[in-house]
């Protein structure tokens, strides 16, 4: 951040009264500009014993597979964002079952919140951000071609828990060892 979004004049990092952190403050109008992590919302869509993954058509990690997810937008709940992302990336409609993954990537100020969700019908196709959308059984998951460790974390725990008849929340931070 170099300039104030309120008045267009330069900002600088400054101490702020009652705040432990320095913030970008406008040198002209004194507006304090806070920067905070972003939520990435998504779903692991399930149909029978299979899960739906998308092969990314965009950078980063274009060509690799992912659980459909993306930035939560203003005006939507986390579940609404997660459902929208499945629609945008996989043209599929889902019903949320429960929150399954919280995955923090502090280095880039992202928090992934991934839900397990049921496909309402086994109908899907590529959204503009996907090269391919496909149902995978556990044995066929392309573990070596996953785009992000958040998806690997989500999938590993989903299959482990399913064998025990469980659906539960798992939390981790990048980097995670599997």
Stretch that binds its own copies, among 13-21, 48-56, 139-147, 156-164 (CB under 8 A): 13-21
Which one among 16, 38, 63, 166 touches its own copies, defined by CB under 8 A? 38
Using the structure block, give the residue that is written with the tokens 């929340």. Answer: 169
Q: Residue 57 and residue 129: Cα distance in Å, rounded?
A: 5
- The reply to whether 95 sits near its own copies by the rule CB under 8 A is no
Which residue number, 45 or 81, has a Cβ lying nearer to its own copies?
81
Q: How far is the CB of 84 from its own copies (least distance, A)?
A: 9
- The reply to whether 163 sits near its own copies by the rule CB under 8 A is no
- The reply to whether 78 sits near its own copies by the rule CB under 8 A is yes
Please report the DSSP string for 3-68 in residue order.
Answer: B-TTT--BEEEEE-TT-SSEEEEETTT--EE----EEEEEEEEEETTEEEEEEESSSSSTTSEE-S
Interface with its own copies in residues 122-161 (CB under 8 A)? 128-129
Q: Determine contact, residues 12/25, Cβ cutoff 8 Å.
A: yes
Q: How far is the CB of 54 from its own copies (least distance, A)?
A: 15
Question: How many H helices and E strands in the chain?
Answer: 2, 11
Q: Residue 100 and residue 83: Cα distance in Å, rounded?
A: 14
Give me the residues that bind its own copies (CB under 8 A), please: 1-11, 18, 20-21, 33-39, 71-79, 88, 98-99, 102, 104, 106, 109, 111, 128-129, 169, 171, 173
């Amino acid at each position: 951040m170099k300039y104030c979004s309120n008045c267009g004049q330069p900002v600088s990092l400054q101490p702020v009264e009652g705040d432990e952190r320095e913030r970008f403050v406008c040198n002209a109008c004194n507006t304090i500009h806070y920067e905070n992590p972003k939520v990435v919302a998504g779903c692991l869509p399930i149909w029978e014993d299979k899960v739906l993954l998308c092969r990314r058509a965009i950078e980063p990690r274009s060509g690799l597979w992912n659980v459909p997810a993306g930035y939560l937008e203003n005006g939507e709940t986390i579940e609404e964002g997660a459902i929208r992302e499945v629609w945008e990336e996989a043209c599929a409609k889902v019903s949320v079952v429960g929150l399954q993954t919280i995955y923090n990537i502090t280095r880039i100020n992202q928090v992934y919140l991934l839900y397990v969700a049921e496909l309402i019908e086994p109908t899907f196709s590529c959204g503009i951000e996907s090269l391919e959308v496909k149902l995978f059984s556990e044995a066929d998951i392309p573990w070596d071609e996953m785009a992000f460790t958040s998806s690997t974390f989500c999938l590993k725990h989903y299959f482990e828990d399913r064998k025990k008849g469980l659906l539960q929340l798992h939390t981790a931070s990048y980097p995670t060892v599997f």
